[in-house]
Amino acid sequence: MVSQLALKSRINSTASLGKIFNAQEMIASSHISKARTVALNAKPYSDVIFDAVQALAAHTDIDHPIVKSRQANNPRVAVLALTADRGMAGAYTSSIIRQTESLLSTLDAQGKQPELYVYGRRGVSYYKYRGRDIADTWEGQTDHPGVEVAREISDELLADYMKPAEEGGVSELYIVFTEFINMVVQKVRVLRMLPVEVIGGYADEQSRRAAKAHQEFVEQSAGRSNAASDDGQESAGSIETAVSEQAESAEEKLRQDHPLYLFEPSLEAVLDAILPKYVQSRIHECLLTAAASETASRQNAMHTATDNANKLIDELTRKLNVSRQAAITQELTEIISSADALNKKEE
């Protein structure tokens, strides 16, 4: 049986750890509200820029780095992993590293050459310890990043993206971060920032709607033609003209729903101005939502650790009471045995 001194020592050390865990939980609780608000407030601006770029890509034939890499044959791509500076956040950093490793393996299998960029002291330590080549690193303030670090990261990544292949440029930019869903759920995501992907974009939606409208008009014209076949060829011709006018009206409505764009002073000038703002806003949004996710993960982890510490203290206290009770029982047994022995000796 473990000695009472050892049990008391473990109880005291566990209680000290429990106080640290509880303090970390309270600190995270005080920060999470602001971090969540900042992350949610930054999302609309980034989403609007992304939607605008998608709309431009859908409605215009753009030959610009924002939607089409000018180094299509360049296998070098950039991967930015957003980790944490501090621990005590549960599986936050390990989940990002696991997803980053999966992305790097996928890119290697595709014949590409990933260049790794890491933000956060934990991720930097992990990859340096394992001898992984890192293109560049950033550390500090992962739980409350500012605009300056987002600008610094975006400037370097954009500069590498715009470089020619022979000067070490990259053809794609990926970012691995944790998206803040709510206080309980944080999801690791992989985002391809450049070139922008038009996934289920406006052009595809417009084409589907136009095809559906055209098919409905064809079916209506066929039904009306069959119903009016006895009225002669002139009636069929008038129906065909009416259907054509309806189709043109529907196409005009589609164009109004998804307007084309006019650029002043030019398309290149507009996109050259949008590109750095787009990259910086996306990176800043990812940094903010990652900071909110880190704080939420730390709060949840510290809450769980505090509960586990309290449970361990209760278990050790029960063991200490059992040990103390056994020692007292043994002492009483020895006293009673000694008293009996003295009584028998006197007799």
Among 68-77, 110-119, 205-214, 276-285, whose mean pLDDT is lowest?
205-214
Tens of pLDDT, residue by residue over 57-100, are 666 667 777 777 777 788 999 999 999 998 888 889 999 999 99
Mean pLDDT of 327-342: 82
| Burial readout 268-300 (b: 16 or more C-beta within 10 A, e: otherwise) | eeebeebbeebbbbbbbbbbbbbbbbbbbbbbb
pLDDT tens digit sequence for 135-187: 999 998 888 888 899 999 999 999 999 888 888 889 899 999 998 888 888 89
- CATH architecture assignment, domain 39-60+69-194+276-291: 3-Layer(aba) Sandwich (3.40)
- Domain spans, the chain: 39-60+69-194+276-291, 202-257
Q: Is the pTM of this model over 0.85?
A: no
